[in-house]
Structure 1
Amino acid sequence: MKHLEANFDGLVGPTHNYAGLSVGNVASLSNASAKSNPRAAVKQGLAKMKALHDMGMTQGILAPQERPDIYTLRRLGFTGTDAEVLAKAAKQAPAILSACCSASSMWTANAATVSPSADTANQKVHFTPANLANKFHRSLEPETTGRILKSVFASDKHFKHHQHLPDNDAFGDEGAANHTRLCSDYGTAGVELFVYGKHAFDRSQPAPTKFPARHTLEACQAVARLHELGENNAVYIQQNPDVIDQGVFHNDVIAVGNGNVLFYHQDAFADTEAALSEIRTKFGDNELHFIEVKRNEVSVQDAIKTYLFNTQVITKPSGEMAIIAPSECQEHEGVYAYLNELVTRNTPVKQVHYFDVKQSMQNGGGPACLRLRVALSEQELAAVNQSCLIDDALFQTLNNWADKYYRDEVSFADLADPSLLLESREALDALTQHLQLGSVYQFQR
């Protein structure tokens, strides 16, 4: 039976803006208050999806969240018509309005943790939406994310959906941004790497001091239990607290894996030797490739600046691996030279493809942030909502959709414009019809 890894990218929402909401994310903070271009952003994302489809990859789409989040604003005491709620929030609590307009769900690496059927006791693909408890603007996402995932992966025979973990810092869960999977083949049992920033209940353990550790060991262990993983299918690795304090807010900013390759920075983990030893033991006799980038080859700061590790490592139909990198990697002399040298080495990685995703990069997310990986068998892929899989026709449909509904400029002042709310709802209503999602948004229910 053939197995593959599908990438489900998040569509950028109509309220895409630069608000600098993410403490610990250097790119997000450095571009705060700049004007954004939602139409360019969604088209950049679609272009990347189409390019991967053209490479022979299975490429899916996850819909964005409904924003502005009027319902949360009402919960927080803003009253009146929708227009009055927006006006009051803009005047009395602009930071709250900004958070309730965030389009951050486009980074679907944070949407959920996914375990393929080859790893789980009941042989189903398991999904747990991330609670994203550390950031208010992202903590608004899990319920709608869960509805979208259930609509895309609707078969009870093949898929198991879990509720997100309790909304508390002790179980802070950032989803697949801190999770990767190593395997000899997508259809064979693999080793899932759960990377955490701190222990919630043991304060004697090391933790960052400048920026928050968003993901806890306890959250990792809970997801592994929910997904019915065996002892040999999970490895728990602490992220290096020092690199979190340098702006490495998720593991996928400093390490990424695919198949039998783990691509990581020398300073990524708190105890690299112990982590690699456990991975080797649980991976068994199959060939592994650990590609360690030394700090004298690429510094942590240059890795953050270019998002060298927030790249996708994919296995093409030919069997060769390729890196999907942001154009920032090509524009940085040292990182570009490193990647050119990497593809000449004796590893499965033989190609690098560069993409312009600047609208996302300026808000703190590269190619890896934009996708949720789901390993599937042929039968499981057939059970996926086929309307959410990119092909030439859907690509054109969604570009036309973006031209119709998306603005080419959004500033903070625009977030209080009632017409932006109406435009966004019209756009999402049309999108759910294009993708045959049903009523996943609160305004539709």
Structure 2
Amino acid sequence: MDDEKRNPEEPSVDRPGEPVVLDPGENSSGRWYDGVTRYQWLILIIACAGWVFDVYEGQIFNITRSDMLLEVLDGDEAAAKAWGDNFLAIFLAGGTIGGLLFGSLADRWGRRPIMIATILMYSVFSGLTYFANDIYVIGVLRFLVALGIGGEWAVAASLVAEVFPKKARAQAAGIFHASSILGTWLAALSGILVGSHWRYAYLLGVLPALLIVWVRASVKEPERWQAIRNSEVGQKSGSFRDLLLNPKWNGLAFRGMLLAAVGLGTFWSVTVAGQDLVRALLLSLGSDPEAAGAKSKFAYGIVQAAGGGAGLLAFGPLCARFGRKPTFIAYHILALLIVPVVCFLPQTYTQMLFILPVFGFLTLGMHSGYAIYFPELFPTHIRATGASFCFNGGRLLAVPVLFFSGWLKGREDISLQHAVWWLSSLFLVGIVVMLTLPETKQRDLVEN
């Protein structure tokens, strides 16, 4: 890359034919953020902002869908419930397709233009939902929003991994993914403010488009990507053929996808069930349904979410200290242990409020590991492609878990508590998968 095009704040990386200069390891002395430049902090802030609004665009539908669908379907509650489930499937499919498509394009064309394209896509189509009056139009718009959301995560995760030095990579990537909690809270706050006027919540979704100006002015292509793009390896950038048919990478890709499927499947079937567990407990104690509903939303959306956010933030420092594999395995084991505790131990609402943050910490915290670990498994020319395949492929693989979870929880001969406990056995699969994957602590990013 020409000297005048190189950002002075961007970290220097290896170039083909030049001596290898490794940056400080994760266990080197000093604080992890010592030496992190203004440009690197800027990249982290931009990546977090994009991910926060990613999550906002996804969660705002969960919060407003009842008002939206009842209005568009003229008050037909049965149709609203059916379409709500259909839109969840549409959103998962769109996120998977968008992640795979834009992850590949980011390896071919660069991180900056694809980040701009994905932010523009989910912002514009979210804003257009304000004008939608037809159920099929809403379905198409949700699919297009999901395309952008799925793609942005892979680009941002790869960008953070490539820009930050090895000493700070795990912590920075953990902070990036943990910022998702802010998106959840932002969506919840917006839903409260707009009340039944759901259209305004989607109009607010246009605001992330302002990020594009910031991205265009501030983000430079990582030197790692520039070096690969100008080499012979660059001809295979974003190649699914190289990812899925090359035995050096395909095993990592499929096992990474299975690891993500465990986390995403248990999120929808176990972690989210925290709200239902609280409501069931309150109803068993004689609380009226309206009060039980309000208290369970607070317990899940505020108390449990706070614990989940702490777990996401803690994952980075823990895996920097102990390694990726031990931290992933520990989280899975402890999640397996906390689920029966939250299902069967609390006898009062107050007791539940004390346990839920721990439940959120252990069942949600491992998700930060995907942003840290997946980009470290693959070389620069397929890094975004591989990370996206793992995360978004796992999203699609989790769909059967959702169907099974719905069937199991709907059975009259099985209590909700036992259903959630049995579903938590999926964490065992995550432990087994992680045992077969490599440790990437103290390893520089793969180049070929």
TM-score, with structure 2 as normaliser: 0.25
Whose Rg is larger? 2
Between structures 1 and 2, the one with greater strand share: 1
TM-score, with structure 1 as normaliser: 0.25
Between structures 1 and 2, the one with greater helix share: 2
